[in-house]
Structure 1
């Protein structure tokens, strides 16, 4: 047997045993190897969109690939979560999940379940909320607001970023506690409802603090904030509890991927977005809207989803809005 033949046989045996990597044994694709999309359910320029663009820029530096924000407004912010049901589970598309997603099974017929058909990656932040009126409105306080509603049943209108959003349901809960009837005007997102109140098309809006600069400029007046304590930016404005409405609303949100995504890929995304949300510029962008980070790891976020679905069911039934 020649030396060359022996070498060929030895190489064949080594290849068969897996000791030498042949060209057919390609390395697994490194994640991510192409741009990542983040779908958010609200319009550009609002209190969701602005901080998310900062977060995406931070995450792109960590992941080494562009992270692109895509706005999918309408339906109270739930469209991105719905889109996850037909999106490839490869980690290249994430969705923001706001609180209205967790009440979907009780308000409309859907063929998927937020508890089991989304893969929870990370909890990011929580909204601040408030009720505002034009600066020239005769309504100067929450007491005035309730009094006007009592004197003019169904005539006092308010705008929100959409039907069955947290803002809509909280306003209806306020009306229920106060014994008044309000007229809800739904818009497609925060920026639309804000322009409506600034333009005098609606008497009030319930929204995240995209209204804050206009309050400071003297164009709008804030009647109440909805956290458990007063806003540092508007320390003279009472909470709902302080005006006799027994409610606190902060509405945490985060990111999910489609069910069935490789847990290792989900972990890469979690770690990258956790670093991104810890950067000072993200916290600064949230602060412009009176928002704070609200970190939850994947397991905690999943449990939060399960718990929230139970509480939302109770609220929906109490308000008589169940399907």
Structure 2
């Protein structure tokens, strides 16, 4: 298996009025069309976008629908995530048609599960996150268990953070970059890092960091973290420069991954990698400093077992500082044993 995804803009449509449902549907169908969905598959995307947006209004009155293109094992797909801070719900019960907490027909989530290939969700007293991934029905594709949520500072049109993931045989590589500051100059630094990663994404994290340093030279630079997991030895190798937060999470707890000071693309003295054996079955989470650091998955019982895209969306919803660009990338490292 080989797959590479360089994270692009996450489109977030605020859902606070019935007119926003149509806006979310049109944007989702445009993205689906742009990545090659045919008429029937685009219709499925439109239905899911409508149901998820309508459910936000019914159950929480306001929230947002996040839409982005994704990569599967075999092609492109689209991801839609409904995020709210409403009263939550019993998501197991709500998957069955006819079950409703608001007196409606209760067909929304049932319709979503019939149209999307991958559906997962998490709900508690802080709100709900419902994720749906769709790919063309005529092409069999396996879901890749990664997920990212991103928000640009102050609603700016570009984000100074970037991320990418690569699947190459038994290896999985994740990269997050935070361009210094925010705005266009930070965005240019992040784009340079992503281009460097795309050109050379199969190497050791130390050699990858050297490649990214060269790629970011001439920009204002930034913080970068690169992690490579090999499914055979189940070992994670990590290198970080700057203030990208990184940790391995499991049901037993979490372990932070250390980075070194510096600015990739500017003040750079070389990276050092650290190895973490027996990382298989754990969840790797990387995030920029736009996210608060004082959070714990243990405060969200069951969240660590959900899809990484759901985990990333919950963390961004609850811990975005609101003072900088913010990015959360979550990657499942093999199967639990």
TM-score with structure 1 setting the length = 0.27
Q: Which has the higher contact order (CA 8 A, sep 6+)?
A: 1
Larger fraction in strand: 2
TM-score with structure 2 setting the length = 0.26
Higher Cα Rg, which structure: 1
